[in-house]
Amino acid sequence: MNLLAAMRYLVALDEHRHFGRAAQACHITQPALSNALRALEEEYGVPIVRRSRVYAGLTREGEAVLAAAQRMLRESEHLTQELRSTAEQPQGALRLAAIPTAIPLLSQFVAMLRQRHPGLRPVVLAMSSPQIDRHLEDLSLDLALGYTERETSRIRVQVWPVAQEQYYLLRRAAGPAQPALRFGPSLRWAEAARYPLCQLTRDMHNRRVIDEALNPQGPAPAPAIETNALLSLALTVIAGDVAAILSGPMVASVRSQGELEALPLVEPAIRTPIGFMALAGQAPSRAVQAALRLLDDAEWQAEVARQSAPEANAVRIDEGHSSSE
């Protein structure tokens, strides 16, 4: 039995919660995955997987084996990177995640990282804040870009601040479409609450931030549409009669949509810190070290500023007419 491969199959099964999907992710057949897991059970003399017609989870012993598997795979990847890399030319995998509102920022970060270090193989995932906590804790993530001041976080992380998330009301613009997204005058949150809104679902931390801003004294108005897919927020505004409240990077990602306009939200001026996070106490791999060096790069910092305040050098709408700043 190839112990490391069997451990990899177990981690995949825990991630996908389905024998067929786990086998597909590992590029093997389902019977081969099942046989490897049975061999693992025979090796340790304990049941690892709860079996029924479908995947039913891991046993208590299986959870212990899973934790060991995650540590083994992490150490194996770190060793591979150490043997194949130099400080200037890191090689290997890098698993990153971001809260949905920061995916545009993380995508640009990964593109810049690959330009500088083509030997890296980044994997970019969108996750809620609780999912980020869980996957940092189980070592299946190297770095995550998310909210750094959540009271509900249950893990200890090391933080590298990146930006202050600010918010805009996105709505259809009056009149004919323009060559690019326009920016209108500031709008108070209380006025934004009167719009029919498309919002993220309640399991997203971003939704809680927005609900508290819309009505600090009580429950926020019920949204017209709810979604857990961030792309739906912009698409429903384009297609329908609703508005959405988006972060600066998300507004920057739709700047080519000339039928839309964005209004900066004020009173109160909400600024939510986001940053990169890693599980505290973990030695960084060569790939992580390269990613952290990029945080001090002037080009990256300029990109953060551009996405965080997308109204700079954009078309503005003031007092019923538009002009270019």
Structural domain includes residue 143: no
In this structure, are 316 and 206 located in the same domain? yes
Say if residues 195 and 221 touch (Cβ distance below 8 Å).
no
Say if residues 210 and 199 touch (Cβ distance below 8 Å).
yes
Structural domain includes residue 187: yes
Cα-to-chain-centroid distance, residue 114: 18
Q: Please say which residue of 72, 91, 125 terminates a domain.
A: 72
Q: Please say which residue of 42, 72, 102 terminates a domain.
A: 72
Domain count, the chain: 2
Most confident of 99-113, 137-151, 223-237: 99-113
Mean of the pLDDT values across residues 227-249?
A: 88
Structural domain includes residue 247: yes
In this structure, are 172 and 68 located in the same domain? no
pLDDT of residue 321: 41
In this structure, are 67 and 172 located in the same domain? no
Long-range contacts of 280-283 (CB under 8 A, 24+ apart): 280/155, 280/156, 280/157, 280/158, 281/156, 282/139, 283/78
In this structure, are 61 and 185 located in the same domain? no
Supply 119's token pair. 């030997």
DSSP label of 261 = E
Say if residues 265 and 212 touch (Cβ distance below 8 Å).
no
Say if residues 288 and 92 touch (Cβ distance below 8 Å).
no
Picking from 60, 54, 12, the residue whose alpha carbon sits closest to that of residue 37 is: 12
Report how far residue 307's alpha carbon sits from residue 310's, in angstroms, rounded to the nearest whole number. Answer: 5
pLDDT band at 318 (very low <50, low <70, confident <90, very high): low
In this structure, are 68 and 182 located in the same domain? no
In this structure, are 212 and 316 located in the same domain? yes
- Does residue 113 or residue 51 have the better pLDDT? 113
Q: Report the percent of the chain where pLDDT is more than 70.
A: 95
Helix, strand or coil, per DSSP, at residue 119:
coil
In this structure, are 185 and 316 located in the same domain? yes
* Domain ranges, residue 257: 168-271+312-320
In this structure, are 66 and 191 located in the same domain? no
CATH number (domain holding residue 37): 1.10.10.10
Helix, strand or coil, per DSSP, at residue 160:
strand
- Does residue 86 or residue 323 have the better pLDDT? 86
pLDDT of residue 74: 81
In this structure, are 316 and 180 located in the same domain? yes
Structural domain includes residue 50: yes
Q: Report the percent of the chain where pLDDT is more than 90.
A: 49
Say if residues 159 and 143 touch (Cβ distance below 8 Å).
no
pLDDT of residue 314: 60
List, for residues 243-283, the tens digit of each pLDDT value: 999 999 999 988 889 899 999 999 989 999 999 999 998 88
CATH number (domain holding residue 241): 3.40.190.290
Relative to beta strand 260-266, strand 182-183 is parallel
Whether the pLDDT of residue 82 is over 80: the answer is: no
DSSP label of 105 = H
Structural domain includes residue 80: no
Whether the pLDDT of residue 104 is over 70: the answer is: yes
In this structure, are 172 and 37 located in the same domain? no
Structural domain includes residue 194: yes
Whether the pLDDT of residue 52 is over 80: the answer is: no
In this structure, are 183 and 60 located in the same domain? no
List, for residues 108-165, the tens digit of each pLDDT value: 999 999 999 999 999 999 998 989 998 898 888 999 999 998 877 778 999 999 999 9
pLDDT of residue 324: 33
pLDDT of residue 72: 84
Structural domain includes residue 212: yes
- Does residue 229 or residue 22 have the better pLDDT? 22
In this structure, are 66 and 198 located in the same domain? no
Report how far residue 266's alpha carbon sits from residue 187's, in angstroms, rounded to the nearest whole number. Answer: 6
pLDDT of residue 320: 44
pLDDT band at 316 (very low <50, low <70, confident <90, very high): low
List, for residues 283-315, the tens digit of each pLDDT value: 888 899 999 999 999 999 999 999 998 887 565
Structural domain includes residue 107: no
Say if residues 7 and 72 touch (Cβ distance below 8 Å).
yes
pLDDT of residue 132: 93
pLDDT of residue 322: 40
Q: Please say which residue of 72, 87, 117 terminates a domain.
A: 72
Whether the pLDDT of residue 208 is over 50: the answer is: yes
Q: Over the chain, what is the mean pLDDT?
A: 88
